[in-house]
Structure 1
Amino acid sequence: MQRSTGSALRVAFAHYSQPNDISGVTTWVLGMAKRLSADGVSVAIHFWMAPDGQDQEPDFFQELRHQGIHVSTAPRRANLKADVLETLGFLNQWQPTVFLPQCISAHYAAAAQGGYQGLPWALTLHSDDPAYWATAKSFGGSRHRSSLVCVSHHIRDEFNRRRIDRPASVIPYGVTVPVTPTEFRTDPFRVVFSGRIWEHQKRASLVIQALIKACRARDSIRATLIGDGYARASCERQVAEAGLCEAITFTGPLAADQVQARLLESQAILLMSDFEGLPIALLEAMAAGVVPVVRRIPSGIPELVDHERTGLLVSEDPEEAARALLRLADDPDLWQRCSKAARGLVAQHYSADGSYKQWRHLLEELDRQFDDAPTNPYPINCRRIVSLRRIDRKLHLQYRTPTKRTTTLRQSLRTRIAQIKHRIKRLLNRHP
């Protein structure tokens, strides 16, 4: 079927929606969609609704619609193929010139199916997560005709190491840099955690243990956890048992302006994740001059945190993280040096304007590919879903019935082993 040229740029996102979601990917999707729409681009977001989020639409759906963004929703189906067919139905109806699927296996499979017929799309690797590598393995090859985008140089290097048969570019997240940064204060010296309070990836148990140790050691330290998640109740219980409810508080999810207000009152941010891409919460904190104390992991974090220059890197031992927080509270010169350098790094390399310009350039390039194609990709074939052949089995895990979590016990054991390991290391360093 022949198609007309000169079409207007139409960008469709596909993402998930769940109650109180504050993930970095969601923050990026909503921010990018709003900015594109403000620039006159036709934008749609198709939300995959988990079972616990189908009863009522989130308030921000109406906000998006008021800004001219087309919002549609679909409940999760019983299996991957059914969700792929539903997503293809959305694409055939709205007919974007560029498709940006996020996070959900069915969205990537639908994108690849469209890619076979000439629909330009981009696969964004947001994290050094096994699920993303399974996605890249299944849908990142040249036959799927996607553009590949990594949010950090570490992820691109890992991508190249895995020998996927096409290059990937790096477009980091960008954030707005406040006009006035935070200031050094000793009483109280405020520490913040911002994000999902999960044991998986975020290691909430390490965060709360480090905060308890730091607050016990110094009455002037106050900590705030911004966000929510299944590990929050356990963290609150540990704080109560430690008698530190006044020193360590939980806000729940906050609006973006409220988060920034909290950051501008804080002196340090703590992050103890197992894996990350390029944490937006960390970028926002550094932009405000908040000094990061973060776990040394292979990720985009070392691209942001240069030890003792833009922040402090620590191991997974909560005692070491607590000592780093105390060190910052006791050393205003170190804090001032790291705060200034962290803010300068974000302003120079991770600004919202800079990131948006790179994405806009890519989207216009993909839109030209749509215009130059000899035939229209629509309607995308829904009868033979070729993209589901030989995909990684991990991509079907979203459709398994959840089992009782044993994660907390396993992670607690890992934490204890890490503490013993680092104590032995310190003893060996004392007695060479």
Structure 2
Amino acid sequence: MENVNLKNVSHIMYPLDKLRSLSRPIAFGHYSAKNDVGGVTSWLERLLLRLHSDGVPVIVLLHHFGTDIDESSLSPRLSDAGISVEVEVRSSFTEENVSSILTFLNRSQPQIFLPQCLEAMYYAASIAGRVGLPWALSMRSDDPVYWAIAESVPPESSGGLMVGVSEYICNLAKEKHLAKYTHTVPSGTPISAHRASFSDTPFRVAFSGRVVEEQKRISLVLEAMSQACRRDSRIECWILGDGMDMTTSHQWVIDQGLGDRIHFLGRLEPSAVQAKLAQCQALLLMSDYEGLPVALLEAMAIGVVPVARSIPSGIPELVKNNETGLLVDHTPEQAATAIIHLANHPDLWLECSTASKLLVAENYSEEVCYQRWLNVISELCDRSTIRYPIPIPKKIPLPPVHPDLVGRDIRKPSLSDRVKAKLKRIYNRILFKTHIGERSAKS
């Protein structure tokens, strides 16, 4: 399938009945972490809950970052909904992770596999794809890691297909000769009853997402906010989310004497984000790279006007300057000026707010994007020729380590490392099943 314009997609009907009647489940693979506020996790949780509620059989494997699988923020919410979830502690070695994923696939025997984020998930998918298990490489960001994975295991060479969250990513994948055909499927966002309204007392600016310097450039966000606050007493700012740079960021704001103007609200449950954003007038985003940011979609869906750094990404597909928001360069000075300009021009704010809500409702709503995912899943299911078990060789065949994956993709565990990793997986699987049983007994 070539890239398809998103308009009018909501009028196309997809074969839910066929997916409900599958004799084998659809398998998903993802990472797990404590207090994860990532956009991919929020999107995946909504997709899995929707598929499950629509009667489509799904099963999930989570590779957990950390030693205590009880810290997984995603697995309890999925398990409580009745979705089958397995959680394993992520090994330090790629071969061990790939082997455990292939073992999971043999155990669950899915119709297709939809891995997310981790290189080991995609490596395992490419191995299984060569023996008939269809899969998709989900390009969710312009992160160099995603491009490195796509270059290491081009999906069309091993029974997979390419899915990108933006037209920009899909077109770039074709230019790089990583795929001949692509599916453009944004994450999508719920269209809630919440609505932002103009206010200049205060004019509230939000940042929503991971509080980190890498990619999100939280230092630029805070500097722009501080300049806006100093230049205009009506400006107030909220930081929604958590991350490894939270403590440093909070201390920087205190040191600037702006603790009463820039507030850190911490991590919010996905269902509460739009309610909090509805109390804001603008969303600030200064990232170095993005795909199609979920935070941007969530804000625009309720009429919060984005002030976003213009970078090669899906952002310009959403933010049309002076139409659906304001685009700025990498300098905090220009971002602060744009914020104050919006506060001083309620007519411009209203025009951008109205246009942004309409754009998201027509092209990027959760319903529109869910229908497109059903189409991708249906196409993959039609391709499935898998016969289990998938052969798992002692020496896992992996591509050479890509330069952009050095430090992430670690190979060659010793025999002792292999034994320890296997015992740890068995122990944690037992622990997880015990924990789930205790939760069920309490409920």
Q: Select the residue among 1, 4, 19 that pairs with 2:34.
A: 19
Aligned to 2:436: none
Alignment of 1:21-420 (within 5 A): 21-51=36-66, 54=68, 56-58=70-72, 60-370=74-384, 373=385, 376-383=386-393, 387-398=397-408
Distance in 2 (CA, whole Å) between partners of 1:59 and 1:321 is 33
Distance in 2 (CA, whole Å) between partners of 1:271 and 1:151 is 18
Match of 1:299, SS state, is coil
State the Cα distance separating 1:242 from its structure 2 match: 1.4
Moved more, 259-268 or 61-70: 61-70
Equivalent AA in structure 1 for residue 339 of structure 2? L
State the Cα distance separating 1:58 from its structure 2 match: 3.2
Distance in 1 (CA, whole Å) between partners of 2:157 and 2:248 is 46
Asked if the contact 2:115/2:137 (under 8 Å) is kept, the reply is yes
Match of 1:397, SS state, is coil
Distance in 1 (CA, whole Å) between partners of 2:397 and 2:376 is 24
Distance in 2 (CA, whole Å) between partners of 1:385 and 1:357 is 40
Distance in 1 (CA, whole Å) between partners of 2:74 and 2:215 is 26
% identical equivalent positions: 42
Match of 1:56, SS state, is helix
Equivalent AA in structure 2 for residue 61 of structure 1? S
Q: Provide Cα deviations, 1:251-291, integer angstroms capped at 9, x if missing partner.
A: 11001232111111000000000000000000000001000
Match of 1:341, SS state, is helix
Aligned to 2:440: none
Asked if the contact 2:208/2:295 (under 8 Å) is kept, the reply is yes
Aligned to 1:8: 23
Residue 340 and residue 385 in structure 1: after superposition, are their counterparts in 2 closer, same or farther (change >3 A)?
farther
Equivalent AA in structure 2 for residue 204 of structure 1? I
Aligned to 1:428: none
Distance in 2 (CA, whole Å) between partners of 1:71 and 1:251 is 30
Asked if the contact 1:112/1:387 (under 8 Å) is kept, the reply is no
Asked if the contact 2:126/2:155 (under 8 Å) is kept, the reply is no
Coordinate RMSD, CA, aligned: 1.7
State the Cα distance separating 1:116 from its structure 2 match: 0.6
Distance in 2 (CA, whole Å) between partners of 1:32 and 1:141 is 22
Q: Provide Cα deviations, 1:1-42, integer angstroms capped at 9, x if missing partner.
A: xxxxx8435111111111111111111111111111111111
Distance in 2 (CA, whole Å) between partners of 1:93 and 1:334 is 56
Match of 1:278, SS state, is coil
Asked if the contact 1:295/1:314 (under 8 Å) is kept, the reply is yes
Moved more, 138-147 or 88-97: 138-147
The TM-score with structure 1 as length reference comes to: 0.87
The TM-score with structure 2 as length reference comes to: 0.85
Asked if the contact 2:34/2:71 (under 8 Å) is kept, the reply is no
Asked if the contact 1:268/1:293 (under 8 Å) is kept, the reply is yes
Distance in 2 (CA, whole Å) between partners of 1:142 and 1:257 is 36
Moved more, 215-224 or 139-148: 139-148
Distance in 2 (CA, whole Å) between partners of 1:74 and 1:343 is 40
Asked if the contact 1:61/1:71 (under 8 Å) is kept, the reply is yes
State the Cα distance separating 1:105 from its structure 2 match: 1.1
Q: Provide Cα deviations, 1:145-200, integer angstroms capped at 9, x if missing partner.
A: 11110000000111111012532111112111223521100101110000001100
State the Cα distance separating 1:93 from its structure 2 match: 0.3
Poorly superposed stretches of 4+, deviation over 4 Å: 384-387
State the Cα distance separating 1:132 from its structure 2 match: 0.5
Distance in 1 (CA, whole Å) between partners of 2:25 and 2:302 is 34
Count of residues in Structure 1 that have an aligned counterpart in Structure 2: 391
Distance in 1 (CA, whole Å) between partners of 2:191 and 2:103 is 40
Distance in 2 (CA, whole Å) between partners of 1:141 and 1:112 is 7
Match of 1:48, SS state, is strand
Structure 2 spans left out of the alignment, 5+ residues:
1-20, 411-443
